[in-house]
Amino acid sequence: MPTMTINGRAAATHAEFDVLNPATGKIYTQAPEATREQVDEAMAAAAVAFEGWRDDEPLRRRTLTDLAASVRDATPELAAILAEENGKPLDLGGTEGVVGSVWCDYYAGLELPREVLRDDAGATVEVLRRPLGVVAAITPWNMPIGLAFFKIAPALRAGNTMVLKPSPFTPVSTLRLAEILRDALPPGVLNVVSGGDEVGRWVAGHPTPRKVSFTGSVEAGRAVNTAAAPDLKRVTLELGGNDPAILLDDVDVAAVAEGLFWTAFFNNGQACALVKRVYAAQPIYADLVDALAEVARRVRVGDPTDATTQLGALATRPQFERVSELVEHALAHGATAVAGGAPLDGDGLFFAPTILTGVDDGLRIVDEEQFGPALPVLPFTDEADAVRRANATSFGLGASVWSGDLERGAAVARRLDAGTTWVNTHAALSPDAPFGGLKWSGLGVENGPWGLHAYTDIQVLHRNRGAAGPGAV
Ligand code: NAD
């Protein structure tokens, strides 16, 4: 059984919970359920470690380079765990390790210019970025390793230490990751405690952390924000999305259909910034539906450990039931499944890639975040109306416009209410570009220098060379 890491060592296991394999429906293994005392111990270890870690930037940069190498080496092992606990194919699990190593390398190499506001005979005034202290990080089940590194890499580079709690559905990969990294990090810099939502509440509401960095649902994000408020903890919230893709009438359907399909069905649709609804111009609508359905029908769904599998199982039973319910609801309200439309037979949580037509705004599958392999495709006749419909949501994570003319696409993309807007792609993330959501999709951003700054407080250092006393502007 994997162990929790507290202060650089394996923590004792007092209680445990089952982790299911969603591809077989059987128990994969057990994971430790942290006690409240263990959360306290992890926080105390992180607080002690902060004192040395905060002052040694060269060490932090070297360590991140070492972490990148360790994660690269561990990628096959982590991918094998992710196949078991999350149901994702091995190559897809491998991309999470790649994200981990790329993000660590990026933050190790990021040069931060000195920010001097004034430097003259009267004074030197500069802006310093101070680490916050201990950071509580809480992650979801859909991309446990990749999303953890969106937090670990910038937080540690900035000089913070961390207590990380993974999802109870997929704790094993994160627990194993911390075991692997024990030797590469000073004790207490990265602690991992596992358990259910209650452990998440202890972590978020604990008096020690100065920040909570959360990725997950809107509902839990609100609870985290509330828990952080009395202590004025900083928060970064990466929450849900209901990303639209608008396809203009000049799109070459044959050229884009397969790429568009995978921007919706990557990871079985279980990622925040994937295409969740398509608005296609009427002249290309029928061809697009046919092309998407053709791709959907030939996707190989099955055993995540089989190298030829393209889509594995859905990761959790509640998620599987939610997707099933939303598709059933759509079909009962006039929708047609031109591909898929139902779960696949067997004990695993497999669902046929589903393309839905005959749906309209207002239907649950269009208005809610389905977070699964079922895509509604809607026609439009008027571009301005498509933009209005795309924006008519409480979410604002990503959005895309697809066009034969990049500038025409960009002009429409500017009018979309989303943290990231793409033209002729979607869900393309990189370590140097800020990523975050508008409206209910979140607070703050991750990645790039902006993501690093989110793990700091600003301090102004003013060296006065003139007369003592309050200075004039
Ligand atoms: P979830 O909110 O149920 O759980 C996420 C984590 O929060 C888990 O570790 C859970 O134990 C913990 N948690 C739950 N309630 C808590 C509370 N009150 N206080 C503290 N911690 C608590 O989300 P999930 O089902 O694991 O993930 C799916 C959701 O995550 C989707 O809505 C998806 O859009 C979102 N997501 C967002 C991004 C992004 O970057 N914007 C990325 C991936 C997933």
CA-proximal residue: ligand 1, atom 23 (nearest) = 216
Question: Rg for the chain (alpha carbons), in Å?
Answer: 23
CB distance 322 to ligand 1 below 6 Å: no
Distance CA 311, CA 96 (A): 15
Q: How do residues 298-343 score in pLDDT, each as one tens digit?
A: 999 999 999 999 999 999 999 999 999 999 999 999 999 999 999 9
% of residues, the chain, pLDDT over 70: 99
Distance CA 51, CA 46 (A): 9
Match 């559905």 to its residue by tokens.
Answer: 169
Report the alpha-carbon distance of residue 32 to residue 78 in Å, rounded.
Answer: 18
- The rounded Å distance from CA 240 to ligand 1 centre is 9
Predicted pLDDT at 469: 83
Q: Which residues pair with 401 in a beta bridge?
A: 246, 423
pLDDT confidence band for 472 (50 / 70 / 90): low
* Ligand 1 atom nearest residue 318's Cα: 25
Our answer to whether residue 446 is catalytic in this structure is no
Task: Determine the residue of 85, 103, 142, 202 to mutate for testing ligand 1's pocket, defined as the one with the most ligand atoms within 8 A of the Cβ atom.
Answer: 142
Residue that has been written with the tokens 């029928």 in this structure: 286
Q: How far is the CA of 150 from the centre of ligand 1 (A)?
A: 14
Q: Is 238 a catalytic residue?
A: yes
pLDDT in tens, 348-370: 999 999 999 999 999 999 999 99
Here the tokens at position 287 are 């061809």
Q: Average pLDDT, stretch 224-240? A: 97
Query: What pLDDT sits at residue 470?
Result: 82
Q: Is the pLDDT of residue 165 over 80?
A: yes
DSSP string, 363-419: SHHHHS---SSEEEEEEES-HHHHHHHHH-SS--SEEEEE-SSHHHHHHHHTTS-SS
For residue 130, how far is its CA from the centre of ligand 1 (angstroms)? 28
Kindly tell me the burial class for residue 315, based on how many C-beta atoms sit within 10 Å of its own C-beta (0-12, 13-18, 19 or more). buried
State whether the beta carbon of 445 lies less than 6 angstroms from ligand 1: no
**Closest ligand 1 atom to Cα of 143:** 43
> What is the percentage of the chain residues whose pLDDT exceeds 90?
98
**Residue tagged 């004792």 (tokens):** 12
Task: Please check the confidence at residue 163 and state whether its pLDDT lies above 80.
Answer: yes
- H helices of 23-89, in order, are 36-53, 57-86
> How many other CB atoms are found less than 10 A from the CB of residue 373?
26
- The pTM score is 0.97
pLDDT over 90 (residue 30): yes
Backbone angles phi, psi at 266, to 5 degrees: -50, 135
Q: Could you report the per-residue pLDDT of 94-107, keeping only the tens digit for each?
A: 999 999 999 999 99
Ligand 1 contacts CB of residue 338 (under 6 A): no
**Residue 263 CA to ligand 1 centre (angstroms):** 21
Q: What is the DSSP string of 250-279?
A: T--HHHHHHHHHHHHHGGGG-STTSEEEEE
Cα 27–Cα 30–Cα 35 angle in degrees, nearest 5? 145
Per-residue pLDDT averaged across 117-141, rounded? Answer: 98
Average pLDDT over residues 143-167: 98
Average pLDDT, the chain: 97
Question: Whose CA is closest to atom 40 on ligand 1?
Answer: 238
Beta-carbon count within 10 A of 406 CB: 12
- Above 70 in pLDDT, residue 191? yes
How far does the chain reach from its first CA to its final CA, in angstroms? Answer: 62
DSSP codes joined into one string, 442-456:
EES-BSHHHHHHTTE
Q: How far is the CA of 385 from the centre of ligand 1 (A)?
A: 32
CA 195 to ligand 1: nearest atom: 11
- Report the residue among 272, 276, 393 best suited for mutation to probe ligand 1: largest number of ligand atoms under 8 A from its CB: 272
